[in-house]
Structures are given as structure tokens and as C-alpha cells.
Structure 1
């Protein structure tokens, strides 16, 4: 039986999607790539393959899950299988540097970023050279959920941190990124969700508690590093995730959809921040997108075809139907 095969390495993120799949009777199966064995001389099963491999897979003990997925996606492509978020999407998922290059090629602006591959002393020196005495953000090139993203008041503070940082904090691909800190008019960022390359809705996310912004209930953010000049706001009255009923401006929406089309990405959450002058800077593309149930409930879309999981289920069902018709 032809079905949707969900490629992943973290089952705790699946329940909201499974509920949406079951609600419309979509046949599906798991393809857990935390590890595995594949006979490349045999064809893969029939159906549509939805790739949800995460850049943060190494933080759950699955160090080579992304590399295994690269091979599996090549195998699927060899046999002409429809893959939602195929190899081009995975390539962006595991490298912010490649994300930024693709975003700029699509006419979108990103924060000023310096890439460093060297010992910690070189990272600190690069921060002094390129960011002077001002604040600087340190992040891994391959992260996920905002993990490892820290803001320092100065290059000296960053240097002091790196001097005593444990070895397991080093980026998994050896590449550090230093980035401008953008002080927005309000301590929020916006995450725009897309399914099938089309805008679904935008979520405003309060950043006063830190940079680990995974919207899924299953995410445990732990202690986050607070932005300069802000204090933890655990008692803030507003929810951390809030769907914007007005969406985003049409020009920005068109640019983001154009970027996804050029990049071969079907499903993504794209995060951006606005400067005090209103300029939009895009800083993250998450092709393993999760949806916040509390925000969807407050907006009145939870459990409906207008929710993130509902929109995704309908898109995958349409893709499955199309591949079945082509095969008939």
C-alpha cells in the first residue's frame, strides 16, 4: 500500500502530526533514521517521503543521523520517489552559512555574520576584530532549536566564556558563527510558517527568556542565556508564542515564498527580526518545523485544516494522491 513515510530521528515531535494524519485517514509509516541498515540494490517502498531530519539530532545521541539521511535521500531520488523537503532542504537545515547564502541570493537580508573554524582563541580574536567593544552573538553553524546560541555584552565576555567552556559545547561541524546583535523595538522575533511553499501563518515569539525558541511542547529549553539589557520574564502576562492574525506584509511573504521555491524547500519555519527602522533581517530557516499547540488554540485554528499540522496533512495527502495517479 502506498503511504506517507515520515523520516525522522525524534519520535517525541510526531504526535501532533499523527493526530492530523489520522483525522483525515492519511496512511503513513515511520522511517526512523537515528540509525539503520538499507539494501541500496533494492527499491524503496512506494509512496511519498516527508523528511523531518533535524540539525539538532546530534544533541539526542544521533550524531550521524543527518549523514545517514543524506544517503537515504540519494537512494530515494535514484528511484524517483517524491520527497517532501529533499536533499536541498536538508543541506540548508544543517548549515546556517548555506542558509544565509541562499537567503541573500533571493534578495533577503541577513545579520552581519563572521564564520570561524579554529581554536577558541581565534574565535575570541575574530570577535574583537569584527565587533569591537559591542555585543556579539555566538552560535554554531549547525544547531537547531536555538541550541548553543549565546549573546555576550562584549568580545571580552565571549573570550572569558570560551576559555572555560567544556569541549562538548563546540559545534558539531567545527564552525562557529559570530553575528551582530539586533536590538529590536520590542523583545520579539517572528516565525513565518510555510507548507507546500505557501504561507500558513506567522507566530510572534517573546525572546525575553532566551534564544531557544522551539515551539513544540516536547522541547525542554532549560536555562537560556538572556539578551543584553533584558531580564528573564517568566512572569510576563503575554504567552511566549502568539499567532499574528494580520500575518505578514505581502512583499515579504512573496520574497520568502520565492526563496523556498528557489531552494527546493516545501515545509519550513523562517525566523526574522525587525530593526528599530523596520528593516527585516532573516536569521534562521528551520525545515524540521514544529507548531505550538497553545498558540493555535488561542487563535482558534487548533485541530482544524487551518492549523500547521492540518495544513501539512492536507498537503501530504494531495502529494500522495498525485503520485498514485501518476503511477496508475
Structure 2
């Protein structure tokens, strides 16, 4: 790690999961970018005190509560508002956090911007679940509003099956009390696509093979939720979609959308359906750039990220000098 002194401007990585940091830190080290970690797992801040100098990059994950960090979302909100109030350079700031932790926020923002999204009913608590489920065609799926890791994703082929789930001990209560009922989409082919953006610009698109039911976040027939105990083989799951370029109409539209939402680093997942639709269904503002994905691409999003953060840090340091 490039270790800055206490008063040296640095890239501060706000996160709650140590396991995600090594590849990102390695890219920053390779680019010679000074960086520190800022755990979203406790501590304190003085709102009247000036924050340290540098660039602050938020990597809050919607699934933080599954790792015992149920208050990371609230900590990120407070810290980012504090940093922004002092005029600090924040990458994926407070507006991005609200998209990260709410699929309802993602879908409403995407729809307002002109994108088609999966038909989704948002249910608060459990009282309306059964009644609203009867408004959807069968089959349908459930998922958690604050999700990630396939939280709450289940397919239901009958209303009797769904009613028993809602009333039974296996019901998965979402951390924010919000369950999504969503159309079950049939994809044209057994894959989904994830487009990566750094600094608001497209880097690459990766096709994810879902034929074995390995992509559990996807609300589509091709993305069947794995059976209990099933283990997906990582080999061969990814390939770069070179035909999805910076000039692709969806990519151009997504760049404009991310800029409007204040999201500078993102992975946007979408699928092409059997009935001819292209549906974005998940916006990830905490992209990890796994080695398996980076190995099949002609470009490195991790390296692009390090260059972007390094350039932002250099600009901040020049102003402070």
C-alpha cells in the first residue's frame, strides 16, 4: 500500500468489507496513488471539524447488513454529508448512496429517464403482499429492496405457494421492510450483461453466462435461483461483449443517466428479453472488478479507476498547494 502521512492528501476508500479491498489497493499502488481506508463500521466524527484533505471514494454496499454492519448505510450518509458540506471531492457521494441501497430508487430514476425497467410492485411490510401478488402474471419473483447477493430472490409459480411462503417460517424479512414483487422475465439467450463505468465513462461490457443458474441477482428465466447447496463453476462464466461499445445507444443513454444521478463509478446490469426489450435492472455503485472478469477483457476497469482517482487527487492537491 502507498502509505501517506497523516497530513498528506490521499484517496480515502470508504467501505465496510475488507475482502473487497486488495485488488483495488493493488491497482492504486501500481499507479502510485496514495490511499487510506475509512471503515464504515463505527467510530465518530466532529461535524464542526474540518475533514482531512484528499479524494473520498464511497464503496458502501447494499448488502453491508449481511456482514454484521447493519448501520453502515446510516454511517455513510452522515459521513458523506459532512464531507460534502466542507467541499471535499467525493466520488459516488450522498446521491449515489441512495441509489445503491434502494432498488425502488433505481427503478423510479431509470423510468423517469426514459428507460424501460422490469414491472415492479413495492410492498411496505407484509400486509399487502398477497393482494398485490394477485395483480402480477404467474410466475413472478420476489426480491429485497436493499439487496445484493440475491437477497430475497425467489420464483413463485402459484399463488398458493406464495401465500404459504408469506405466512411461513422461511419468509425472508428485508432489512428495510420493503419487498419487491417483480415480473419474471424470459431472456432471449442465457446471459446477462454488465457494463462498467469509471469517471462516468464506459470502460467495457461483460457477458455473464446464466445457463447454470449462477447469476442469482437477475430476475429472469435464464437467471434461475440455484438450488440449495448448488455451487456454480466460475470458469467460463464471463466474456467481453466487444459489440457493446461506447457508441452503443444504451451505453450513451446510461452515461447521461449516471451523470445526472451523480454516479461516477458503476456497474449497470441489463438483459435483452425474448420479447425484444432491453431492461436495465441493477445499478451497482460499489464495483469490485473481480480477477475472473478482468481476465477476459481487453481493458482493465481497475486500472482505469486508479488513473481516474489519481487524476482527481492530483487536481485536489494542486489546488491545496
Q: What's the TM-score, normalizing by structure 1? A: 0.87
Q: How many residues align?
A: 305
Match of 2:313?
A: 320
3-state SS of paired residue (2:128): helix
Q: Which runs of 5+ in 1 are unaligned?
A: 215-223
Which of 166, 170, 186 aligns to 2:173? It is: 170
| 1:113 is aligned to 2:133 | no
Q: Of 127, 132, 153, which residue of structure 1 is paired with 2:133? A: 127
Q: Distance in 2 between matches of 1:94 and 1:298?
A: 29
1:26 match: secondary structure = coil
Is residue 209 of structure 1 aligned with residue 213 of structure 2?
yes
3-state DSSP of counterpart to 1:260: helix
Q: Is the 8 A contact 1:241 1:292 kept in 2?
A: no
- Deviation, 1:326, is 2.2
Moved more, 98-107 or 263-272: 98-107
Deviations 1:11-57 (A, max 9, x none): 10011101101111110000001112112221110000000011100
1:65 and 1:108 map into 2 onto residues whose CA distance is 30
Question: 2 CA distance for matches of 1:209 and 1:63?
Answer: 29
Question: Partner residue of 1:221?
Answer: none
264, 280, 284: which is aligned to 1:282?
280
Using a 3 Å threshold, how does the CA distance of structure 1 residues 54 and 322 change in structure 2: closer, same or farther?
same
Matched, 1:182 2:189: no
Match of 2:240 among 229, 232, 243: 243
Deviation at 1:161, TM superposition (A): 2.2
Question: Secondary structure of the residue that 1:145 maps to in structure 2?
Answer: coil
Name the CA distance, whole Å, in 1 between partners of 2:320 and 2:105: 35
C-alpha distance in 2 between matches for 1:155 and 1:82: 50
1:112-142 per-position Cα deviation (integer Å, ceiling 9, x unaligned): 10011132x63122112x114x110101110
Distance 1:31 1:135 in 2: 43
> Which of structure 1's runs of 4+ aligned residues deviate more than 6 A?
none
The correspondence for 2:140, drawn from 136, 143, 163, is: 136
Cross-structure match for 2:221: none
The residue number in structure 1 matching 2:263 is 265
The DSSP-based 3-state class of the residue aligned with 1:22 is helix
| SS across alignment from 1:194 | strand
TM-superposed deviation, 1:243: 2.0
